């Protein structure tokens, strides 16, 4: 018997295995998950069924541990655990307002942070979700607009915000328990940081997952996407997502809108309105929400209200009046309550619903246009306090 010589191999000839790490399943479409399962060794014929099973565990039951997916064979669970992860972004901190609003600071890959806000109301609970870190647009009244775009969120990071908050609310269904009709988290608004239509594919995939009948099961009527007016993507929003649409209108002349919402220089009011007119038909939705931030002396005159009514004539609409949330250094002031009421009255008399948005979570600065920046300021001041006290700043 001869001992075989030790095998030596030139390291350069060994194909280098890139440490890929497990693929995160959260955020994959059904088709993407199917392909991933096949690549990992699932027989083609079984792949569709395995997707259905895993999908229900993750999105219906909120289960993220493969070993608990008991309708799968043990060795298949092991195969999945070796190749995949079910990862969500991480909650860094949570603040609860005296009115029940919860503001979460959420850390995504790369250490970036976004905010997600949960707003409980009598008949619903709305989650305000972010789609980008920062924003490329520079609306002059919005604090997010002063922050540069860091990156787009992935679909997993967008739907992950919904799943995190379901965790925090303890709202995943329990097998056998009676179905609770009123959900704590019943609605989603894409009104956090970022312009959702500049991150279209990820937003679409995330919302499709949120709407999937075998998972989170949020109806498309309970999802509202807010855009500053990215006209070329509006028709796609109708046909590919089919959710409700809100538009940050904010002005009744191009001159003023050019300043408040500078994307207006690219797609002006007339172009935007043409796209909006098509939306309800294309998406089979009832009406469009026009968001209108009330800025003292800038866009809040009776004449503005009358012009607004005229502009939107023929579009099924609701006008949501938002008292401006002031932030330090903001170049505008909030219109007085009387002015907002007078403005609302003109719109109401013209036959449109004109709710005035009640500011929520003000004590924790959870309002629009203040997300993240408030946390950054709070952190800075804690760091300053620590520095003054001569101790190491908090991490």
Which residues sit in the known binding site for [4Fe-4S] cluster? Answer: 135, 139, 142
Among positions 187, 226, 264, 375, the unique one binding ligand SAH when judged by CB under 6 A: 226
Distance of alpha carbon 239 from alpha carbon 260, whole angstroms: 29
Each residue of 206-216: b (16+ CB within 10 Å) or e?
A: bbbbbbbeebb
Residues that constitute the known binding site for S-adenosyl-L-methionine: 194-195, 226, 248-250, 325
Spatial contact of 346 and 304, defined as CB atoms under 8 Å apart: no
- By CB under 6 A, the residues from 68 to 127 that bind ligand SAH are none
Residue 368 designated active-site: yes
Q: Phi and psi (nearest 5°) for 289?
A: -95, 125
Q: Please, which residue, 105 or 191, has the CB nearer to ligand SAH? A: 191
Q: How far apart are CA 70 and CA 50, in angstroms?
A: 12
Q: Report if residue 133 touches ligand SF4, rule: CB under 6 A.
A: no
Query: Under the criterion CB under 6 A, does residue 142 sit at the interface with ligand SAH?
Result: yes
**Interface with ligand SF4 (CB under 6 A), residue from 47, 72, 106, 135:** 135
If the CB atoms of residues 186 and 320 are measured against ligand SF4, the closer one turns out to be 320
**What DSSP assignment string belongs to 43-85?**
-HHHHHHHHHHHHIIIIII----GGG-TTS-HHHHHHHHHHEE
Q: Does 145 bind ligand SF4 (CB under 6 A)?
A: yes
**CA atoms of 368 and 193, how far apart (whole Å):** 9
98: left (phi over 0), alpha (psi -120 to 50) or beta: alpha
Q: What separation, in Å, do the N-terminal and C-terminal C-alpha atoms of the chain show? A: 64
Interacting span for ligand SAH (CB under 6 A) from 4-12, 153-161, 167-175, 320-328: 320-328
Part in contact with ligand SF4 (CB under 6 A); list of ranges 110-118, 132-140, 209-217, 338-346: 132-140
| Tokens at 230, concatenated | 């990215």
Q: Which does 199 bind (CB under 5 to 8 A by kind): ligand SAH, ligand SF4, none?
A: none
137 binds ligand SF4 (CB under 6 A): yes
| 161 near ligand SAH, rule: CB under 6 A | no
3-state class (DSSP) for residue 37:
helix
**Catalytic residue IDs:** 115, 368
Residues found near ligand SF4 in the complex (CB under 6 A): 135, 137-139, 142, 144-145, 194-195, 228, 248
Residues found near ligand SAH in the complex (CB under 6 A): 141-142, 191, 195, 226-228, 248, 291, 293, 322, 324-325, 368-369
């Amino acid at each position: 018997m001869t001992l075989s010589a030790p095998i030596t191999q030139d390291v350069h000839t060994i194909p280098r295995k890139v440490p890929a790490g497990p693929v995160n399943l959260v955020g994959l479409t059904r088709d993407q998950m199917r392909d991933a399962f096949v690549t990992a060794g699932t027989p083609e014929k079984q792949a569709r069924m395995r997707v259905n099973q895993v999908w229900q565990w993750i999105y219906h039951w909120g289960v993220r541990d493969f070993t608990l997916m008991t309708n799968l064979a043990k060795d298949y669970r092991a195969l999945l655990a070796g190749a995949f992860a079910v990862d969500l972004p991480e909650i860094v901190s949570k603040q609860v307002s005296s009115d029940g609003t919860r503001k979460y600071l959420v850390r995504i890959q790369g250490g970036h942070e976004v905010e997600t806000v949960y707003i409980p109301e009598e008949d619903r609970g709305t989650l305000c979700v972010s789609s980008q870190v920062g924003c490329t647009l520079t609306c002059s009244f919005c604090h997010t607009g002063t922050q540069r775009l860091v990156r787009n969120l992935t679909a997993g990071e967008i739907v992950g915000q919904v799943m995190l908050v379901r965790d925090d609310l303890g709202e995943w269904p329990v097998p056998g328990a009676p179905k609770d009709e009123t959900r704590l988290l019943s609605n989603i608004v894409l009104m956090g940081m970022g312009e959702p239509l500049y991150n279209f594919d990820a937003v679409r995939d995330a919302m499709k997952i949120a709407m999937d009948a075998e998972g989170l099961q949020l109806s498309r009527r309970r999802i509202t996407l807010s855009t500053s007016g990215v006209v070329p993507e509006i028709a796609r929003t109708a046909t590919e997502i089919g959710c409700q649409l809100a538009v940050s209108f904010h002005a009744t002349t191009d001159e003023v809108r050019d300043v408040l919402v500078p994307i207006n220089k690219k797609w002006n009011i007339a172009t935007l309105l043409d796209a909006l007119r098509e939306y309800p038909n294309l998406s089979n939705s009832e009406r469009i929400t026009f968001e209108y931030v009330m800025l003292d002396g800038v866009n809040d005159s009776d004449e503005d209200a009358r012009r607004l009514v005229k502009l939107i004539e023929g579009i099924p609409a609701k006008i949501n009046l938002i008292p401006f949330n002031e932030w330090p250094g903001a170049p505008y002031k909030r219109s007085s309550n009387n002015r907002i009421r007078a403005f609302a009255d003109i719109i109401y008399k013209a036959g449109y619903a004109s709710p005035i948005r009640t500011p929520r979570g003000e004590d924790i600065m959870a309002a629009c246009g203040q997300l993240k920046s408030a946390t950054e300021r709070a952190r800075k001041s804690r760091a300053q306090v620590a520095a003054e006290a001569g101790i190491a700043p908090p991490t």
